[in-house]
Amino acid sequence: MRGRILPIPNHLVEIRSSPGRGRGVFAREAIAPGTVIEAAPVIILPAAECPALDRTVIYDYYFHWDGDPDGEGCGALALGLVTLCNHSNRPSARVDRNHAQRTLDLIAISPIAPGEEVTIDYGCVLWFEPRE
């Protein structure tokens, strides 16, 4: 099937229920620090549209996307598991913007054991300022 891109399942993680937190991302196998757990493609959201999105449920799932040629203040809606990662003050992963590939890369920063939840710090610069 030339020209057709088929999805590649992520064998490293799965979505499960996280007690008291809704859905979460959990390791299916051991993940070493520095491993790219996911490179989630993004939809770039124009800065002018972000205020309208801030009044919707999308607000909780999109990231700040500055430094892109499309302009400051843009948003990025990730099309992957990274949007389901829960917060921790001691996260096991971080999210990096990859402007060249237009992805948000979920990268392990500590060893993650099988069955352990993959968490990120919501206090990072990738999030917009909290709503008032």
Residue 125 has a pLDDT of 56
Neighbours of 15 (CB within 10 A): 12
74 or 129, higher pLDDT: 74
> Once rounded to an integer, what is the mean pLDDT over residues 47-73?
78
Amino acid code (one letter) for 18: S
> Once rounded to an integer, what is the mean pLDDT over residues 3-10?
53
> Once rounded to an integer, what is the mean pLDDT over residues 25-29?
95
CA-CA-CA-CA dihedral for 102, 40, 58, 19, to nearest 10: -160
On whether the pTM is more than 0.85, the answer is no
Return the minimum-mean-pLDDT range out of 44-53, 99-108, 119-128.
Answer: 119-128
The domains found in the chain, sorted by start residue, are: 13-120 (2.170.270.10)
Give whole-number Cα distances, 51 to 56, 57, 62, 129, in Å. Answer: 10, 12, 12, 12
